[in-house]
């Protein structure tokens, strides 16, 4: 097995920038037949220096491959040139909507969205519908095509209008309906990836027989599969223990999902060996995805929405735990600040709604506040979507469900039957991130505490600790998220032009993350590790688990050419990499 000492020296070398190396690279790429654009002008580099995270890091070169062959050429050339210039590396980027800095680098960006964005086919075999697309295909375009088949991708992130399917796979993203339907990784059928040798391979779940056949092959995938299997086999207990206990997670490499149900059972011919489970969520650190095939789910048409205003935090866990008994499709949440921001900024909804609907939604918003809530904002509003078929199976009439979700001392759970009210609640929930920007125009909602999740039974205690810390730091943060998973997106409003902000971010991360971990929680529910969370993974994982992640990365990428500094071996200095404009 590879030693982490060996990788360490390489990691050190990766910290040096290589101006000459990048100059040589431009020529080497053209000589090797790279057909796409190779860009290094100031404007382009600035464009690729930021994503939706708190960071700003200028790359040295941006590549826009025209096709899979170009990706292979880029990997080959970098692999060759890194022998002379060890600071060179290749970081894939899709729509750049990531919140942790996953697509940022000080070396070479390879933009997958620009050209590898076609939807190749939708296949229907019996009741199973799958689609195959380039990783740069926009989620919204895939969704539109799937709708023709009355299907959707239930693991959709809230950013589905602005992100790609490939970026979502690489981040192992998740969203509202993940409460019932899991993460993006759970919907991946197969992937096409370019590995360290610059060749393309098909990766999919394999039976024991297929796995035995693969490891006999003398190629990169065969060798990698053999080594990953050995790693899992000799560390099965450590890996089992490392699996986060929260219902959502995108931290680390999901080694616990590679050999299922167990090594012993797999060797008897049961279950699968599945490397898609670590390419999903791998953030481009172990190879580059060039095509993907995913499964889909029928659209649920017959659903009911229940809204529960929670005025007393101590009721929150009870309502969520009760709601989970009804197998909900989602249980979403937003807080008082978000609703207040919506009421203070009616113009926010003007572009988002046709005019008649706009007035109806506003009327519903103010009526809810003034009449139903008697001019008192609830700490949280929980939105619970149930599918009526499940309720029928459970033999639960709606009146009983509403009664069980009641909270004492104020307006309680209600079935939302009026379409304008339904629209109003979803407009506020979906707009919550952008609405928080309106709370203070001189500040920016900062994504660094935005992915913590705890077991639902600890929700109230977790929240009161967080409220205490926000007060201590004198920081405002609107909150929204996935209540059913007790998964919260906090975006503290910070002024990035203030020179003390980077130190504040470092200090707050440390303290807030410790609170999540104290309650058996997770600092990385769905947005992945990126630059911001990688240095903190030791809070969630044991030393042995982190070592296994490092060994996994090394098996796929011994020369550390794929997106170094993310998921393992943090290498970016957080303070000096933080953006300086709002
Ligand atoms: C308002 C807002 C709401 C959001 N809501 C959610 C949410 O509900 N759930 C959620 O999970 N996320 C959410 N996000 C974060 C982000 O939008 C998602 O994770 C999204 O899926 C990332 O897709 P992207 O195309 O922007 O990928 P990028 O940000 O470009 O890339 C993501 C990561 O994947 C790697 N990568 C990209 N392409 C490839 C490839 N072809 N091969 C290998 N690696 C690759 C990159 O290096 C990077 O590490 C939100 C972001 C915003 C701004």
Q: Cα–Cα distances in Å, from 471 out to 474, 481, 513?
A: 5, 21, 16
Query: How many angstroms separate the alpha carbon of residue 134 from the centre of ligand 1?
Result: 15
CA of residue 166 to ligand 1 center, whole Å = 8
Provide the pLDDT for residue 407. Answer: 81
Q: Report how far ligand 1's centroid is from the alpha carbon of 409 (Å).
A: 41
Query: Can you tell me whether residue 104 is helix, strand or coil?
Result: coil
Alpha-carbon torsion (540, 544, 545, 546), positive or negative: positive
Check if 319 has its Cβ closer than 6 Å to any atom of ligand 1: no
178 lines ligand 1 (CB under 6 A): no
For residue 13, what pLDDT band results from cuts at 50, 70 and 90?
low
From 171, 284, 489, mutation site for ligand 1 pocket: most ligand atoms within 8 A of C-beta: 171
pLDDT-based confidence at 490, cuts 50/70/90?
Answer: very high
DSSP annotation of 323 reads H
- pLDDT > 80? residue 439: yes
The closest-lying atom of ligand 1 relative to the alpha carbon of residue 135 is: 41
Indicate the top mutation candidate among 93, 97, 153, 529 to test ligand 1's pocket, ranked by most ligand atoms within 8 A of CB: 97
The answer, yes or no, to whether any atom of ligand 1 lies below 6 A from the CB of 502, is no
Does 427 score more than 90 pLDDT? Answer: yes
With 70 as the cut, is the pLDDT of residue 213 above it?
Answer: yes
- The model's pLDDT over 105-119, given as tens digits with 9 standing for 90+, comes to 999 999 999 999 999
**pTM of the predicted protein model:** 0.95
> Which atom of ligand 1 approaches the CA of 566 most closely?
49
Predicted pLDDT of residue 529: 98
DSSP states of 449-504 as a string?
EEEEE--GGGHHHHHHHHHHHHHHTT--EEEEEEGGGTEEEEEEEE-TTSTTHHHH
Give the per-residue pLDDT at 15: 54
pLDDT band at 14; cut points 50, 70, 90: low
pLDDT of residue 5: 32
Question: What residue owns the CA closest to ligand 1's atom 53?
Answer: 97
Whether 96 lines ligand 1, by a CB cut-off of 6 Å, is: yes
Query: What average pLDDT does the segment 74-80 reach?
Result: 97
Please compute the mean of the pLDDT values over residues 235-255 and round it to a whole number.
97
Q: What is the torsion angle, in degrees rounded to the nearest 10, for the CA atoms of residue 50, residue 56, residue 58 and residue 61?
A: -30
Compute the distance between CA of residue 406 and CA of residue 413 in angstroms, rounded to an integer.
5
CA 528 / ligand 1 centre spacing (Å): 9
Residue 505 has pLDDT above 90, yes or no: yes
pLDDT of 101 over the 50 cut: yes
Atom of ligand 1 nearest to the CA of 174: 11
User: Which CATH number describes the domain made up of 303-518?
Assistant: 3.40.462.10
pLDDT level of residue 313 (50, 70, 90 thresholds): confident
- Residue 424: in which H helix or E strand, if any? helix 419-430
Interval 138-180: pLDDT, tens: 999 999 999 999 999 999 999 999 999 999 999 999 999 999 9
Expressed in angstroms and rounded, the spacing between residue 249 Cα and the centre of ligand 1 is 15
- Is 103's C-beta closer than 6 angstroms to any atom of ligand 1? yes
**What is the residue extent of each domain of the chain?**
4-115+563-577, 119-298, 303-518
Q: Whose CA is nearest to atom 41 of ligand 1?
A: 289
Residue 521 pLDDT greater than 90, yes or no: yes
> Which of 62, 143, 159, 169 maximizes ligand 1 atoms within 8 Å of its Cβ, making it the mutation to test the pocket?
159
Alpha carbons 78 and 377: distance in angstroms, whole number: 56
* Residue 112, ligand 1, Cβ within 6 A: yes
Please, is 334 exposed, middle or buried when counting C-beta atoms within 10 Å of its C-beta (0-12, 13-18, 19+)? buried
pLDDT band for 17, please (50, 70, 90 cuts).
low
Ligand 1 center–CA 310 separation, angstroms: 31
| Out of 123-137, 257-271, 432-446, 524-538, least confident range | 432-446
Residue 323 CA to ligand 1 centre (angstroms): 29
Instruction: Reply yes or no on domain 119-298 having CATH 3.30.465.10.
Output: yes
Q: What is the pLDDT of residues 173-211, one digit of tens each?
A: 999 999 999 999 999 999 999 999 999 999 999 999 999
- Give 541's contacts (C-beta < 8 A, 6+ positions apart): 242, 251, 252, 549
The model's pLDDT over 455-485, given as tens digits with 9 standing for 90+, comes to 999 998 999 999 999 999 999 998 999 999 9
Query: Atom of ligand 1 at shortest distance to CA of 168?
Result: 21
Class of domain 4-115+563-577: alpha beta
Nearest CA to ligand 1 atom 14: 159
Atom 17 of ligand 1, nearest CA residue: 97
- φ, ψ for residue 487, nearest 5 deg: -120, 115
Please give the order of strands across the beta sheet that includes 108-111.
37-39, 61-64, 108-111, 90-93
Determine the distance separating the centroid of ligand 1 and the alpha carbon of 167, expressed in angstroms: 4
| Nearest atom in ligand 1 to 433's CA | 1
- Tell me the two tokens of residue 212: 């035995």
Q: 71 CA distance to ligand 1 centroid (A)?
A: 19
Chain mean pLDDT for the chain: 94
Ligand 1 binding pocket includes 453 (Cβ within 6 Å) = no
3-state DSSP assignment of residue 526: coil
* CA atoms of 451 and 578, how far apart (whole Å): 18
* Residue 112 CA to ligand 1 centre (angstroms): 12
pLDDT (tens digit per residue) in 315-362:
889 999 999 999 999 999 999 999 999 999 999 999 899 999 999 999
In this predicted structure, what is the pLDDT of residue 23?
83
pLDDT of residue 159: 93
Evaluate if residue 279 carries a pLDDT over 70.
yes
pLDDT band at 272 (very low <50, low <70, confident <90, very high): very high
Of 206, 225, 65, 61, residue with least CA distance to 134: 65
Q: Which atom of ligand 1 is nearest to the CA of 92?
A: 47
CB of residue 163 inside a 6 A radius of ligand 1 = yes
CA of 473 from ligand 1 middle (Å) equals 29
How high is the pLDDT of residue 58? Answer: 95
Nearest-CA residue for atom 4 of ligand 1: 159
Q: Percent of the chain scored above 70 by pLDDT?
A: 97
Q: Whose CA is nearest to atom 15 of ligand 1?
A: 98
């Amino acid at each position: 097995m590879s030693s982490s000492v060996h990788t360490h020296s390489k990691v050190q070398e990766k910290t040096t920038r290589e101006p000459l190396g990048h100059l040589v690279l431009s020529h080497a790429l053209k000589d090797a037949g790279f057909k796409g654009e190779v860009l290094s002008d100031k404007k382009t580099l600035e464009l690729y220096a930021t994503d939706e995270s708190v960071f700003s890091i200028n790359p040295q070169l941006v590549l826009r491959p025209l096709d899979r062959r170009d990706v292979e050429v880029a990997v080959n050339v970098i692999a060759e040139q890194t022998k002379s210039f060890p600071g060179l590396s290749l970081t894939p980027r899709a729509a750049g909507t990531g919140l942790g800095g996953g697509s940022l680098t000080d070396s070479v960006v390879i933009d997958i969205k620009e050209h590898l964005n076609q939807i190749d086919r939708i296949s229907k075999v019996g009741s199973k519908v799958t689609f195959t697309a380039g990783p740069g295909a926009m989620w919204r375009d895939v969704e539109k095509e799937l709708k023709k088949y009355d299907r959707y991708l239930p693991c959709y992130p809230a950013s589905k209008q602005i992100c790609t399917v490939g970026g979502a796979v690489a981040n192992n993203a998740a969203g509202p309906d993940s409460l019932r339907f899991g993460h993006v990784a759970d919907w991946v059928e197969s992937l096409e990836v370019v590995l360290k040798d610059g060749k393309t391979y098909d990766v999919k779940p394999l039976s024991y027989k297929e796995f035995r056949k693969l490891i006999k092959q003398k190629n990169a995938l065969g060798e990698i599969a053999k080594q990953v299997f050995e790693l899992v086999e000799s560390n099965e207990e450590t890996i089992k223990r490392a699996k986060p206990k929260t219902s959502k997670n995108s931290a680390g490499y999901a080694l616990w999902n590679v050999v299922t149900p167990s090594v012993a059972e797999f060797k008897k011919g049961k279950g699968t060996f599945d490397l898609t489970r670590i390419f999903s969520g791998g953030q481009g650190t172990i190879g580059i995805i060039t095509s993907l095939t995913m499964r889909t789910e029928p659209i649920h048409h017959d659903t009911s929405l229940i809204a529960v205003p929670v005025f007393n935090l101590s009721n929150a866990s009870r309502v969520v735990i009760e709601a989970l008994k009804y197998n909900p499709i989602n249980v979403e949440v937003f807080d008082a600040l978000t609703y207040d921001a919506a009421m203070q900024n009616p113009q926010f909804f003007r572009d988002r709604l046709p005019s008649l609907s706009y007035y109806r939604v506003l009327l519903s918003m103010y009526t809810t506040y003034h009449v139903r809530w008697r001019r008192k904002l609830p700490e949280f509003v929980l939105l619970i979507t149930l599918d009526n078929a499940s309720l029928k199976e459970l033999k639960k009439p709606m009146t009983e469900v509403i009664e069980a979700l009641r909270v004492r001392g104020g307006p309680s759970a209600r079935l939302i039957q009026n379409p304008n009210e339904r629209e109003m609640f979803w407009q506020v929930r979906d707009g919550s991130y952008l609405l928080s920007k309106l709370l203070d125009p001189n500040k920016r909602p900062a994504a660094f505490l935005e992915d913590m999740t705890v077991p639902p039974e600890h929700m109230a205690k977790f929240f009161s600790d967080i409220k205490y810390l926000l007060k201590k730091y004198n920081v405002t943060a609107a909150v929204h998220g996935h209540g059913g998973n007790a998964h919260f997106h906090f975006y503290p409003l910070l002024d990035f032009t203030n020179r003390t902000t980077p130190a504040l971010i470092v200090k707050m991360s440390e303290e807030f993350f410790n609170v999540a971990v104290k309650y058996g929680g997770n600092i990385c529910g769905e947005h992945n590790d990126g630059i911001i969370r990688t240095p903190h993974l030791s809070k969630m994982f044991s030393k042995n688990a982190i070592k296994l992640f490092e060994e996994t990365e090394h098996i796929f990428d011994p020369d550390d050419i794929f997106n170094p500094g993310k998921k393992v071996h943090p290498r970016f200095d957080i303070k000096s990499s933080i953006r300086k404009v709002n």
